[in-house]
A and B are shown apart, each in its own frame.
Chain A
């Protein structure tokens, strides 16, 4: 490390003298552009959403007070979309985490770890919109999945996957699991590889089975890594809307409509921006609270380094 410092062209100069004020203010100057940019793009939308949620009308705005909120709370579609977001989101996250952890446990000590990692990462490298069309084709338009099921000996005919709530939700979960399991897999492999190998070896020499080593030693040590992976993936799942917009558009009867899609549909399809803004404000309040607690809790160790 030190020879890099020596190589750096550093002609001797008298020490720069700066006022105590400048010295104190310097880091703030460095941060100012980022802070201004982020405040503009987060604070302003928040304020505008609150303002807009108090008005109604598509082109001419009319004062509406808290009526948008009152209607929203009475709106069944809103609650259904909230439930779908949480329900579908937690199932998806759970399935992804289990598969990713199993694969990571199988791969992390293998000599081929790098090769497996590249193969398993491939689905993640397509655009989410592209993956949505791929699964729409495989399930519905191309009838590939139904054909494979038939060839495997179960003839259900041509299944219309969008006709029942269960099957439409299933398609969404499959598409997300296929694309995003790699995200958790990469993180878990790194976590497992970063562990102290000696503890494991000691347990192995004592005759512990691989299941005990994995569940009693590796997994508990992985807790912080798992938590970070789940938080990051969870946030992305909650915000996912490309798949809903492309594959199901909320069908059948709103059974696959997520909160993001609900806001998008009311704001940009029905043009009820006041109403959608009220939903936005509620979502913003929840995310601000969640972000503050989650971020501080799980990224704490990072700042202490």
Chain B
């Protein structure tokens, strides 16, 4: 029998090559966080720099890095909380009831994901300006939640649809109310789905750029836009601080993703592709 291509040396060469493409820039970026400024922008790139932790101490002393981190944490976790609070009941209704307009409502919710952020940027800016909420983490929280609500509803809905109806029917004959069935049976049974939805929403919120750029201007800087702080001044772009912050955001995201890795494809496609 002919050898399969994927187990041939060519196949694994391709995989190792792409792994190198993925990893080398990341490793280089990691060394950037640790090297002094004069070894970043040099006439010739320096591949083996003098690594020193002093750079870190300096960056932490000069910039309110921890407050960027705190802003991200508050805005992201708050938005995830809002999404779950509103999204779980909505997903439950879409998954477990038949009612008039169910399809249309479901698709309307999903279609808000397709909305171009740039197209609503001006109204959002004006809205928060009038509410005197510009440059606050609360505004970020509200926007992130709106952006992710559709994803959360659809992911959780897809997990709830899979639960057999018999379980619910048995509980209903025993006299449990609908809310109780949701709270005590459906939610515990689709907990992996809820966690997946929360993780995906957290990552997207963490990454959000355009709305964050127009809302946050100083006090509310989260990690994604704080990077802009290091590029406008007379020192040029301060790459080691940027790299440091990037990894500060990277590690929590890595942990979250590893924790849901078997649900990742399902989460990213809002339940459409079951991995």
Contacts and interface: CB of A to CB of B under 8 A. Distances in A.
B89 to A, nearest CB: 4
A260 B214 CA distance: 13
- Greatest chain B CB density within 10 A among A52, A105, A296, A302 is at A302
- Greatest chain A CB density within 10 A among B45, B92, B94 is at B45
Nearest to A48: B123
Interface string B155-178: 000100110101100111111111
B25 interface: yes
B41 interface: yes
Given A30-B89, A287-B115, A305-B161, A44 B209 contact: no
Interface in A12-42: 12-16, 24, 26-28, 30-31, 33-35, 37-38, 41-42
B28 A31 contact: no
A85 B154 CA distance: 28
A292 B103 CA distance: 12
Given A31-B90, A122-B26, A49 B149 contact: no
Given A30-B92, A106-B15, A125-B257, A291 B111 contact: yes
A38 B148 CA distance: 10
B73 interface: no
Contacts of A49: 119-120, 122-123
Contact of B2 (A24, A106, A209): A209
Nearest to B147: A41
Contacts of A254: none
Contacts of B175: 12-16
Contacts of B158: 302, 305
Interface in B140-154: 142-143, 145-146, 149-150, 153-154
Interface stretch (A69-77, A89-97, A130-138, A162-170): A130-138
Given A301-B272, A303-B103, A239 B239 contact: no
Contact of A190 (B109, B125, B266): B266
A87 interface: no
B105 A134 contact: no
A5 B171 contact: yes
B66 interface: no
Contacts of B126: 48, 52
A142 interface: yes
A10 B175 CA distance: 9
Contacts of B85: 33
B89 A133 contact: no
B257 to A, nearest CB: 6
A237 B96 CA distance: 34
B234 to A, nearest CB: 16
B242 A130 contact: yes
Nearest to A99: B18
Contact of A103 (B15, B45, B242, B274): B15
Contacts of B275: 186, 189-190, 193-194
Given A24-B99, A259-B118, A295-B110, A102 B14 contact: yes
Interface in B80-136: 85-87, 89-90, 92-94, 97, 99, 102-103, 105-127
Contact of A9 (B107, B143, B184): B184
A126 B116 contact: no
B181 to A, nearest CB: 9
Contacts of A5: 167, 170-171, 185
Complex A-B, nearest 3 residue pairs according to Cβ-Cβ distance, in ascending order = A190-B275, A190-B265, A45-B123
Interface of A: 1-2, 4-5, 8-10, 12-16, 24, 26-28, 30-31, 33-35, 37-38, 41-42, 44-46, 48-49, 52, 99, 102-103, 105-107, 109-110, 114, 116-123, 125-130, 133-138, 141-144, 147, 178, 182-183, 186-187, 189-191, 193-194, 204, 209-211, 225, 228-229, 232, 235, 238-239, 241-242, 245-246, 259-261, 263-264, 267-268, 273, 276-277, 280-281, 283-284, 287-288, 290-292, 294-296, 298-299, 301-303, 305
